[in-house]
Amino acid sequence: MEKANCVCYALTVVLTSFLLAWSLMPQTPSHIVMATASIKYATTNVDTGSASYHITKMSSPSPPSLDIKIPNGSSIQGNPSYLPSDLTVKKGNTVTVANEDKSEHTVTSGTGLDDPNSGNAFDTEIIDFGGNATIDTSNLAPGDYPFYCTEHDYMKGTLKVR
Ligand SMILES: [Cu+2]
């Protein structure tokens, strides 16, 4: 047999086998295939709908703020001192402190000037009017850390590391 004829014969065998296999397969009318497809599609939509509902529920709360603001007027006793005064963070988070008052302030760990452990956990030291400071919590053991301002020790808050 010539080479060309040989190739032609092989192709014919393959094609015939394919057609034979196809004809032996149970035939499904195309409208049933399409109906099944749309049922599957509808089911998928229902699933996707419920999945995206859960995703929306999980992602909708805004991430907790890691900022402490010292608002204008905070040096006056009785005014809000730290906003928030009670902040929960994850160990490793960095807390940013913004002093928006017209006085100098600190965020110093401890219960007050008479606390012997004052400033041991963290201490921003003096933050100038309009200035910022950060508190790195990566070296803090999980727990509640009261803090205060060394310039105005009635300014108090709690940093909760989890
Ligand atoms: Cu202060």
Do 90 and 133 lie in one domain? The reply is yes
How many of the other CB atoms lie within 10 Å of CB of 110?
A: 22
CA of 49 to the centre of ligand 1 (A): 51
Supply the pLDDT for residue 43.
38
pLDDT for residue 61? 54
CA 56 to chain centre: 13
pLDDT in 10s for each residue of the chain, 162 residues = 555 555 545 555 555 554 445 555 555 444 444 444 444 444 334 444 444 444 444 555 555 568 999 999 999 999 999 999 999 999 999 999 999 999 999 999 999 999 999 999 999 999 999 999 999 999 999 999 999 999 999 999 999 999
Q: Name the residue range of residue 7's domain.
A: 3-59
Question: From ligand 1's centre to the CA of 135, what distance in Å?
Answer: 16
Task: Please work out, in degrees rounded to the nearest 5, the angle formed at the alpha carbon of residue 135 by the alpha carbons of 131 and 136.
Answer: 140
Query: Domain total for the chain?
Result: 2
Distance 8 CA to ligand 1 centre (A): 94
Task: Write down the pLDDT at residue 16.
Answer: 53
Q: How far is the CA of 62 from the centre of ligand 1 (A)?
A: 29
Residues 75 and 103 in one domain: yes
**Residues facing residue 67 across a β-bridge:** 96
- Using the mean position of ligand 1's atoms as its centre, give its distance from the Cα of residue 155 in Å: 6
Residue 88: what pLDDT?
97
pLDDT for position 66: 87
CA-derived radius of gyration, the chain: 35
- pLDDT value, residue 19: 44
Q: Among 32, 59, 86, identify where a domain stops.
A: 59
Query: pLDDT at position 36, please?
Result: 42
Residues 32, 85 within the same domain: no
Claim to verify: residue 138 and residue 83 sit in the same structural domain: yes
Report pLDDT digits (tens) over 58-96.
Answer: 555 555 568 999 999 999 999 999 999 999 999 999 999
Statement to judge: residues 16 and 82 lie in one domain: no
Å from CA of 145 to ligand 1 middle: 17
Distance CA 130, CA 115 (A): 28
Do 22 and 37 share a domain, yes or no?
yes
Q: How far is the CA of 102 from the centre of ligand 1 (A)?
A: 10
Task: Output the CA 91–ligand 1 centroid distance in Å.
Answer: 25
Ligand 1 center to 126 CA (angstroms)? 9
CA of 106 to the centre of ligand 1 (A): 6
